[in-house]
Amino acid sequence: MICDCLQSDKNHLIFILKCDAVVSEISTGPGTVNFTINRELLAKTVLQQVLKDGSQYGIKSELFSMVPRQKAVIEFSSPNIAKKFHIGHLRSTIIGNFIANLKAALGHEVTRINYLGDWGMQFGLLGVGFQQFGDKEKLKSSPLQHLFEVYVQINKAAEDENIKKLAADFFRKLEEHDEQTLSLWKQFRGFSIEEYIRIYKRLGVHFDEYSGESFYQEKSQEVLRMLEDKGLLQKTIKGTGVVDLSEKKDLSLYSTVMRSDGTSLYITRDLAAAIDRMKKHSCDTMIYVTDKSQSSHFQHLFQILKLMGYDWAERCQHVSFGLVQGMKTRRGEVVFLEDVLDEVRSRMLQNMASAKTTKEVEDPMETAEKVGLAALIIQDFRGLLSSDYQFSWDRALQSRGDTGVFLQYTHARLHSLEQMHGNEQLTDVNASCLQEPDAISVLQHLLRYDEVLYRSSQDLQPKHIVSYLLTLWQLLAAPAPALVLLSPALVFQARLCLFRAARSVLGSGMQLLGITPVTRMCCPAISQPQRC
């Protein structure tokens, strides 16, 4: 757009707007000026940029040019060892994975940490339980299931004061590094991590470090000494150690950091872990992904770090999330994550079988797993992370609508279109062939992708990307067959290029969310695979 300025008199300026290569039409209304963008230029520019940048499209935008690259440590998942992976850890795992994926894609240096709950009095109870009810063969063949059974048995017996005393003695020996006691605990930990890695593989999640509370048992004592040296540690009448967090320093708000016997607590070990991570990684930000019930814990943690003189505590962040309600399998109430993964895979296999085209998929089991996980992630990520939500199997797995299932189907459908036409190179596309309202709507939506990535990078909410992708499939769903079938050669090439660009952006967005896009699947809502 060209703007000429004329002065009609000393107090008034007149601006004359002229069309150029970008603006093809200018009109005015009451108090408004309307611009019409050159659609051919829009089509050509967007398609060239998407196909040139590939998975980097949107990320190379000028929106991110001034954003400094940082080192980020992200702690997420963090199950308790010697227990089967509870469904409650699913949200922490997929949310943390999304944040890590997004930051890594934007060029930040990311360290993914799984901070295991592997220390505390409960291991005294479990140790005694295994001594009384444990079976070494069962421990080897099905470790977490057997330890779960042992824990249930010993909890029933724990009403006996003798059992409580034995558990306290076992944990005391553990803290004193008694060789036999420590050896049994190491078995519990090793078997647990092996089992978790297998489940993380199903989720498409990996970690750079497996840490845990046990790493900071001794260092937490150093933290207590530091608190005492700084005059922050106060003793109560009961002998416990607390840090005063109140504004008036009247102990109206405090955090307990030491038991009466001098041993550390969860928050003490978290303080040691934070200090150790900052020394090790010199990170710009430290993010903790846990449910919102722990908000108070992290407020106290960051506040104590500040009182200790660590200015970097300002760069620590707690990303909280709400609870999932109503998640049950056919067998009843869900307790374990693997039950949910098996259930969603089973249901997707049934849906695929009902389509009568499952044989066209090379590995139905693997496809069902990927599509089922997409269904779980999209339903989870549609709203604010801090909100509780009601889970619905039927809504998550329906084959049409705003679901992960249909995102996967759309991606596979577009990929099939490319395969059907030989993946030919589309270098010189006639953009003037893409002037239909449906095509322009898709192009305009592709142009907004960087804005959506920027919003998610600012508030770490995946819902922006989810909403964008769901709108993209809606824009693609209706016009796809009409825009390609029976088209003249030049028009066909242009439309094929448009769908290739859309599939690239769709796949990139899904991967950021932690979804592996499938390239072939069938949908029960459509009796025969369609030519797109």
Model pLDDT, residue 188? 94
Task: Tell me whether residue 421 is one of the annotated catalytic residues.
Answer: no
The pLDDT, as a whole number, for residue 523 is 55
In terms of average pLDDT, the best of 160-164, 289-293, 399-403 is: 289-293
**Mean pLDDT throughout 406-431?**
79
CB 529 within 8 A of CB 360: yes
Residues 6+ apart with CB under 8 A from 141: none
Tally of structural domains, the chain: 2
Looking at residues 297-302, what average pLDDT do you find?
98
pLDDT value at 355 more than 70: no
Residue recorded with tokens 């690259």: 69
> Full-prediction pTM beyond 0.85?
yes
Residue 183 maps to a domain:
no
pLDDT number for residue 528: 35
Q: What is the rounded CA–CA span in Å between residue 283 and residue 274?
A: 11
Reported as type and span, the H/E element at residue 101 is helix 90-105
Residue pair 521/408 in contact by the 8 Å Cβ criterion? yes
With contact defined as beta carbons under 8 Å apart, do 399 and 524 qualify?
yes
Residue 386, in any domain of the structure: yes
Helix axes 337-354, 364-381, angle to 10 degrees: 120
Among 394, 349, 395, 355, CA closest to 368:
349
Catalytic residue among 89, 146, 370, 445: 89
Task: Decide which of 393 and 60 is more confident.
Answer: 60
Q: Please indicate, yes or no, if residue 408 is contained in any of the structural domains.
A: yes
- For residue 245, tell me if it sits in a domain: no
Residue with the two structure tokens 């299932």: 405
Select from 409, 417, 411 the least CA-distant residue to 525.
409
* pLDDT band of 527, cuts 50, 70, 90: very low
Burial of residue 53 (CB within 10 Å: 0-12, 13-18, 19+) is middle
Instruction: Report residue 396: phi and psi, to 5°.
Output: -65, -40
- Structural domain for 20, as ranges: 1-37
**The residue to which tokens 């320093």 are assigned:** 249
Name every residue whose Cβ is closer than 8 Å to that of residue 38 and which is 6 or more positions away in sequence. 21, 22, 23, 24
What are the residues whose beta carbons fall under 8 Å from the beta carbon of 470, sequence distance 6 or more? 378, 402, 407
Question: Residue 8: enclosing H or E segment and its boundaries?
Answer: strand 2-9
The reply to whether 199 falls in a domain is no
Candidate from 60-74, 83-97, 325-339 with smallest mean pLDDT: 325-339
Is residue 245 within 8 A of residue 303, CB to CB? The reply is: yes
CA 140 from chain centre, in angstroms, equals: 32
Q: Is 90 helix (H, G, I), strand (E, B) or coil?
A: helix
Residues paired with 324 in a beta bridge: 389
Q: Residue 129, Cβ neighbours under 10 Å: how many?
A: 26
| Element (DSSP H or E) covering residue 380 | helix 364-381
- Residue 120, in any domain of the structure: no
Paired tokens of 337: 């994550």
Beta strand residue intervals within 138-235, DSSP E: 209-212, 233-235
416 neighbors 529 (Cβ within 8 angstroms): yes
CA distance 162 to 185: 21
Residue 414 lies in a domain: yes
pLDDT attached to residue 182: 95
> Is 89 a known active-site residue?
yes
Q: Choosing from 12, 52, 84, 86, which is the catalytic residue?
A: 86
pLDDT at 431 > cutoff 50: yes
Does residue 38 carry a pLDDT above 80? no
- When pLDDT is cut at 50, 70 and 90, the band that residue 518 belongs to is very high
List pLDDT tens digits, range 373-407: 999 999 999 999 999 988 888 888 776 778 999 89
Handedness of CA 312, 456, 52, 49 (dihedral sign): negative
Percent of the chain with pLDDT over 70: 86
Which one of the listed residues 18, 44, 52, 83 is annotated catalytic? 83
Whether residue 108 lies in the annotated active site: no
Q: Which residue has the tokens 């509780």?
A: 388
The CATH number of the domain where 443 resides is what?
Answer: 1.10.730.10
